Amino acid sequence: SKSPSLRQNTLVRYFIMKSSNLQNIEISQQKGIWSTTPSNERKLNAAFWESSLVYLIFSVQGSGHFQGFARMDSSIGYEKSQDWGSAGFGGVFKVEWIRKESIPFQFAHNLLNPWNDNKKVQ
């Protein structure tokens, strides 16, 4: 796959990635990979190819925190990973973790999503 830095587009995209558990995020941080549901794959792959950078902001459902953020470093392939132990995930892709830290949602309370009725980003 082509590195984001080699693409000419200057558009930067951001996605909130909700995980059902902290273990999946720890695996991602250790191995530099992520996998998501097939319904998310099309959006993420399109963003990867159409944007110069794609940032993924991770949060465990119900935690009230962000667990950090990473840059999407490859498109999503067909290879699956057994690391997550779920048949519901699609292909694996590379991520480079930029920050691995638990950050309470309240620290980002001023961030609003204009594509979601200006609701808080969390």
Give the integer Cα–Cα distance in Å for 106 and 55: 20
Whether 57 maps to a domain, the answer reads yes
pTM of the model: 0.82
Whether 6 maps to a domain, the answer reads no
Q: Is 83 exposed, middle or buried (0-12, 13-18, 19+ CB in 10 A)?
A: middle
Whether 3 maps to a domain, the answer reads no
Whether 1 maps to a domain, the answer reads no
- Residue 73 belongs to domain spanning: 12-120
Find the angle CA(33)-CA(83)-CA(77) to the nearest 5 degrees.
45
Give the integer Cα–Cα distance in Å for 108 and 65: 10
CATH number at 112 reads 3.10.590.10
**What does the DSSP 8-state code read for residue 52?**
S
pLDDT tens for the 122 residues of the chain, in order: 445 555 556 689 999 899 888 999 999 999 999 999 888 999 999 999 999 999 999 999 888 888 999 999 999 988 887 777 666 788 899 999 998 988 877 776 667 656 667 666 66
Report how many domains make up the chain: 1
**What does the DSSP 8-state code read for residue 83?**
T
